[in-house]
């Protein structure tokens, strides 16, 4: 069994020739160089807040304790969080280890149900390093790893025993689409391998007596207009190559954000018929567990990270 300290040390060492994600930029982030994600030695934090719009098992009654990092290893042209993932990253403060640990405790003090790292892949070394003093000082929240799925298996192995709940995306079923829309070569096999490793570590979703997630994997699949998400193939592969009992959150909240308005297929919201087709694909794949979204979800998910709280206007 790995110790938290060992994982933090190994992950931090990889910043010296960064290969924390599949891009493997090789830059020395410890010396302040930046690769495709745009973040150097220190993580930048865009928001740390209680979030009530996640899946019910994560939001519960008191909210998920979401810590939104700035920067990202993908470049989705329809990114709903583009302000913080691809915008002016210098606008968001750098957090050292102590500041991150303080942020974890501030979330715990708000009474949230978990510590949910949003877009953790490119700053996983810094996030885990801060967990070392935080756990020693009594941080009790389960950790949620909410990534875009473009994760490396060898990095994920260092998170065994560190992460309680994995919340990855499975965005595409076609690599050319993934490269064109998100700048993610080899996305499909990469994400499925990552999800298999996550599932090996924590298995199916386990809920406590209050219906809150305590352990397990939840896969998010955002249904895109024009079936750019390859929903039928993505869900079939997930059931066949990982497990038919894995929990899936089938998301209807797409709206044309960021640069999507200029794209011939992405310039409009999802239709109800498209989402119905995705629900059929879920059933046809033999998947058993998950959540559907109201087709009007795109009208309520409009984060603004320049406001005090990104989900409260
Ligand atoms: S985490 Fe950032 S610097 Fe490291 S390999 Fe990925 S994109 Fe490159």
For residue range 31-70, what is the model confidence (pLDDT) as tens digits? Answer: 999 999 999 999 999 999 999 988 999 999 999 999 999 9
Mutate to test the pocket of ligand 1, among 19, 72, 122, 149 (most ligand atoms within 8 A of CB): 122
Which of 235 and 55 is assigned the larger pLDDT? 235
Residue 309: inside a domain: no
Would the CB of 36 count as within 6 Å of ligand 1? yes
Task: Give the per-residue pLDDT at 224.
Answer: 98
User: Smallest Cα–Cα separation from 123: which of 160, 187, 49, 71?
Assistant: 71
Atom of ligand 1 nearest to the CA of 39: 2
Residue 261: inside a domain: yes
Residue 241: inside a domain: yes
Residue 83: inside a domain: yes
271, 237 Cβ separation under 8 angstroms: no
Upper half-sphere CA count for residue 39 (Cβ side, 13 Å): 34
Close Cβ partners of 47 (under 8 Å, ≥ 6 residues apart): 66, 67, 68, 84, 305, 309, 310
- Closest residue by Cα to atom 4, ligand 1, is 18
Task: Give the per-residue pLDDT at 294.
Answer: 74
Residue 308: inside a domain: no
Q: What's the mean pLDDT in 69-73?
A: 98
Mutate to test the pocket of ligand 1, among 14, 43, 73, 123 (most ligand atoms within 8 A of CB): 73
Would the CB of 278 count as within 6 Å of ligand 1? no
Could you tell me the two tokens for 307? 């406001």
- In angstroms, how far is the first alpha carbon of the chain from the final one? 45
pLDDT exceeds 70 at position 312: no
Residue with tokens 């599932």: 199
User: Smallest Cα–Cα separation from 151: which of 190, 203, 198?
Assistant: 190
pLDDT exceeds 80 at position 308: no
Residue 270: inside a domain: yes
Residue 111: which CATH number?
A: 3.20.20.70
Atom of ligand 1 nearest to the CA of 36: 7
Residue 198: inside a domain: yes
Would the CB of 196 count as within 6 Å of ligand 1? no
- Closest residue by Cα to atom 1, ligand 1, is 122
What stretches of 203-284 show up as alpha helix (H) in DSSP? 231-241, 272-284
Rounded CA-CA distance 313/308 in Å is 9
User: Smallest Cα–Cα separation from 148: which of 256, 69, 58?
Assistant: 69
Atom of ligand 1 nearest to the CA of 122: 1
What domain count does the chain have? Answer: 1
Element (H, E) at 218: strand 213-222
Residue 220: strand pairing partners: 169, 249
Q: What's the mean pLDDT in 127-137?
A: 98
Mean model confidence pLDDT for the chain: 94
- Closest residue by Cα to atom 6, ligand 1, is 21
Q: Percent of the chain having pLDDT more than 90? A: 92
What are 244-273's pLDDT values in tens digits? 999 999 999 999 999 999 999 999 999 999
- Closest residue by Cα to atom 3, ligand 1, is 35
Atom of ligand 1 nearest to the CA of 34: 3
Q: What's the mean pLDDT in 294-307?
A: 60
Residue 311: inside a domain: no
pLDDT exceeds 80 at position 86: yes
Find the 296 Cα to ligand 1 centroid distance in Å: 35
Would the CB of 152 count as within 6 Å of ligand 1? no
- Band (pLDDT 50/70/90 cuts) for residue 313 is very low
What are 185-200's pLDDT values in tens digits? 999 999 999 999 999 9
Q: Which domain holds residue 218?
A: 4-299
């Amino acid at each position: 069994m790995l110790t938290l300290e060992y994982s933090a040390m190994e992950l931090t060492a990889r910043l010296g020739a960064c290969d924390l994600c599949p891009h493997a930029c090789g830059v020395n982030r410890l010396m302040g160089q930046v690769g495709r994600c745009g973040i150097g030695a220190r993580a930048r934090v865009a928001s740390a807040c209680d979030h009530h719009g996640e899946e019910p098992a994560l939001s519960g009654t008191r909210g998920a304790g979401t810590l939104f990092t700035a920067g990202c290893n993908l470049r989705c042209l329809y990114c709903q969080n583009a302000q913080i993932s691809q915008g002016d990253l210098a606008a968001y403060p750098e957090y050292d280890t102590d500041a991150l640990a303080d942020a974890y405790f501030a979330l715990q003090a708000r009474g949230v149900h978990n510590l949910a790292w949003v877009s953790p892949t490119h700053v996983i070394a810094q996030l885990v390093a801060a967990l070392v003093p935080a756990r020693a000082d009594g941080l009790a929240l389960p950790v949620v790893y909410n990534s875009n799925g473009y994760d490396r298996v060898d990095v994920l192995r260092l998170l065994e025993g560190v992460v309680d709940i994995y919340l990855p995306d499975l965005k595409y079923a076609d690599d050319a689409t993934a490269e064109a829309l998100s700048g993610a070569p080899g996305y499909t096999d990469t994400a499925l391998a990552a999800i298999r490793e996550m599932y090996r570590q924590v298995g199916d979703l386990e809920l406590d007596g209050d219906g809150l997630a305590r352990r397990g994997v939840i896969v998010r699949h955002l249904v895109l207009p024009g079936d750019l998400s390859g929903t039928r193939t993505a869900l079939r592969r997930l059931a066949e190559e990982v497990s038919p009992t894995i929990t899936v959150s089938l998301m209807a909240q797409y709206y044309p954000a960021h640069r999507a308005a200029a794209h011939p297929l992405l310039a409009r919201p999802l239709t109800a018929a498209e989402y119905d087709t995705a629900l059929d694909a879920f059933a046809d794949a033999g998947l058993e567990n998950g959540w559907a979204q109201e087709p009007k979800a795109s009208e309520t998910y409009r984060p603004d990270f320049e406001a005090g709280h990104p989900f409260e206007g």
